[in-house]
Structures are given as C-alpha cells and as structure tokens.
Amino acid sequence: MIKVEFLNNYDDAVVKNYPFLNDTEEMERLFNFAYLSSEVVSPLKNADPLNQKDHFVSLLITDDGEIQRLNKEYRNIDSPTDVLSFPQDELTIFGDIVISVPTLLKNAEELKVAVKDEYFRLLLHSFLHLLGYDHTTNDFETEIMLIIQEKILLNFQKV
C-alpha cells in the first residue's frame, strides 16, 4: 500500500482554495491505482506485485524559487520547473516529489485544463519517474511513459 507524506512549503491560503493539493487519500488512491495497473512495469513492482507492503512517497508543494534552487542543485538547470522527482533505492521508500504551485497554476491556465486535472497529471508523471520510467521529449504520441501516463489517468477518472 502506497502512503503519502505531504509537506507544504507554500501559502496556506492558496492550499485552502485548492483543497485537493493536500488530499493525501486521493493521492494514495491514484498512486495505488497506477501501481496496480497492468500498464506499469517496474523492478519495484516486481518486488511486490500485489502491493502488500507499505511503500512511501513524500510530496512537497512549494514555489518557483525553491523548485528552481532544487533544479539547479540536482539537475544543473537554473530555472523553475513544474515537478521534480527524486527516486530512492529502497523498496519501501519510492522517493520524493516536489511540485511548484505557481507553475502548476500557469500550466493549467495555458493548457486550458482544470487545476486539479493538471495536478494529478503531475503527480502521476512524477510517480512514474519514481518507478523508473523516463522520457526524452514531451511527445504524448511516441513517448511510452507519457502514453502510459495518459492511459492510467483516463482509467483512473472512470473509477
């Protein structure tokens, strides 16, 4: 069972306006759904295919300044980004996810999608990175990871 530890390094008033930002139950439901999806193949999943052990993901929501600092420190890219993933090499700790709320809001507006939909897309995207998936482009038609991501999101919305 995947469990989420939520950390807020952002404006509490904004989080109150978007209560799904700290809805760990819904995040856990998404991660567990994805983990058990037939679409997902991962060495981590091979070690516990039925998701019977406790696994942990930490999530930090923050601002562009902090995510830019982390992006520069860990990826040598000196600019903000929407999400960062930090996989761990342990079976019980999948890793850490960092999401920039201002970039999330900007993405949702630019893509003309609900903030919640974009948030869950970023969560799932990052979770797939934690499971070992990667991509070199953002082409949703050719990148296996992104194709899997969209299939899972579509199926998740149906349940």
Instruction: Report the pLDDT value the prediction gives residue 96, as an integer from 0 to 100.
Output: 96
pLDDT band at 151 (very low <50, low <70, confident <90, very high): very high
Instruction: Report the pLDDT value the prediction gives residue 38, as an integer from 0 to 100.
Output: 83
Instruction: Report the pLDDT value the prediction gives residue 130, as an integer from 0 to 100.
Output: 92
In contact, 85 and 95? CB cutoff 8 Å: yes
**Spatial distance between the Cα atoms of 91 and 44, rounded to a whole number of angstroms:** 6
Of 104, 120, 109, 115, nearest to 154 by C-alpha is 120
Element (H, E) at 129: helix 115-130
Q: What is the pLDDT of residues 24-72, one digit of tens each?
A: 999 999 999 999 888 888 877 777 777 788 899 999 999 999 999 999 9
Amino acid making up residue 42 = S
Amino acid making up residue 90 = E
Of 91, 106, 96, nearest to 42 by C-alpha is 91
Specify the residue for token string 């201002």.
102
Element (H, E) at 54: none
Angle, CA 30 vertex, CA 104 and CA 73 arms, to 5°: 45
Topology (CATH) of 2-158: Collagenase (Catalytic Domain) (3.40.390)
pTM of the full predicted structure? Answer: 0.91
How many Cα atoms occupy the beta-carbon half-sphere of 8 within 13 Å?
Answer: 14
